[in-house]
Structure 1
Amino acid sequence: MNDTQITLTGRIGGDVTLREITGGRAVATFRLACTPTRYRDGEWVKGTTSWHTVKAWNRLGRHVAASLANGDPVVVHGRLVADLWERDGKPQTSFEVVASAVGHDLSFGTTVLTPPVPATDSVATPEAAPVVTPAVTEAGEVEQPARAA
């Protein structure tokens, strides 16, 4: 695929919104403010802030909504997508980032990853022991399989 991949660093500039969509899908959306800084003549100088719309889908989106807040420093990686439409007969274009990875920017502090709790309504759980069928010898005796330690 020839998708345009982009990585942005910045701060979340508003609330993260999570929308649940039919079919069990979800999308989290937030605005990202990216302000370049340069060290010039012995001091840090801020450049012009650029604003980007970021969307994160499904599991990533739910995790983003549960983990990030306004003002958090983040790193976002994903596809740059152009949205084309017409308004008053004039073509319009906007860009958004469809995220494949989002996380706190650790140059500003530390964070702790908390894995999600597995669903309890699942048929197969990691704690479930595998089903083992005993073998029957030629003499008709049942051999119990060795159990793993």
Structure 2
Amino acid sequence: MNETMVCAVGNVATQPVYRELASGPSARFRLAVTSRYWDRERNAWADGHTNFFTVWTNRQLATNTAASLAVGDPVLVQGRLKVRTDVREGQSRTSADIDAVAIGHDLARGTSAFRRANKPDQSVTSLQAEPNWENQAVNTADAPAPQDARPASVT
């Protein structure tokens, strides 16, 4: 696998578009990535060129993307870079897409509250908060000897 993996840091430029396809959920949005540089003449940070990427997501990532992102949100996107060239009406157009593997809010520019998404194929009754260790058989011959957690008394 010789795929080009990238990590892009930018802002959501368009509202995510969510679709239910035969192969599962899919979502896409545009990501604006603007370079910043230190302008010595003005003694201040300045914006450079802005690149736009179309970010594609599938399955659970698509569902979570549509529910979590809005225009202007600062995000980090990791995924496979795909550069395409199309010829339409005699003109050649080049676009850069990212097939996303992971997306997250940029916590350097704000806060975010994480909520675990419920998986549609799991029922609540099949989940346990903790394993029930008391009902599992333990081979005491292989288990390490318990250590006394109390401090030694000082006389």
Identity value in percent:
35
What is aligned with 2:19? 19
What is aligned with 2:55? 54
Task: Say which SS state the counterpart of residue 36 (structure 1) adopts.
Answer: strand
Question: Number of paired residues?
Answer: 131
What is aligned with 1:77? 78
Pair 87,122 (structure 1): closer, same or farther in 2 beyond 3 Å: same
> Cα RMSD over matched residues?
2.6
Task: Say which SS state the counterpart of residue 110 (structure 2) adopts.
Answer: coil
- Could you state the TM-score of these two structures normalised by the residue count of structure 2? 0.74
Structure 2 spans left out of the alignment, 5+ residues = 137-155
What is aligned with 2:135? 147
User: Deviation of residue 87 (structure 1)?
Assistant: 2.4
1:75-126 per-position Cα deviation (integer Å, ceiling 9, x unaligned):
0010011334432456544221000010001110111111012447649822
1:15-59 per-position Cα deviation (integer Å, ceiling 9, x unaligned):
111111014x01110001111111222201110111111011110
Contact 2:53–2:95, Cα closer than 8 Å, also in 1 = no
Task: Say which SS state the counterpart of residue 35 (structure 1) adopts.
Answer: strand
Structure 1 spans left out of the alignment, 5+ residues = 131-145
Alpha-carbon distance between aligned partners in 2 of 1:51 and 1:72, rounded to the nearest angstrom: 15
Task: Say which SS state the counterpart of residue 60 (structure 2) adopts.
Answer: helix
What is aligned with 2:114? 113
Task: Say which SS state the counterpart of residue 76 (structure 1) adopts.
Answer: strand
Alpha-carbon distance between aligned partners in 2 of 1:36 and 1:92, rounded to the nearest angstrom: 23
Alpha-carbon distance between aligned partners in 2 of 1:57 and 1:26, rounded to the nearest angstrom: 6
Task: Say which SS state the counterpart of residue 135 (structure 2) adopts.
Answer: coil
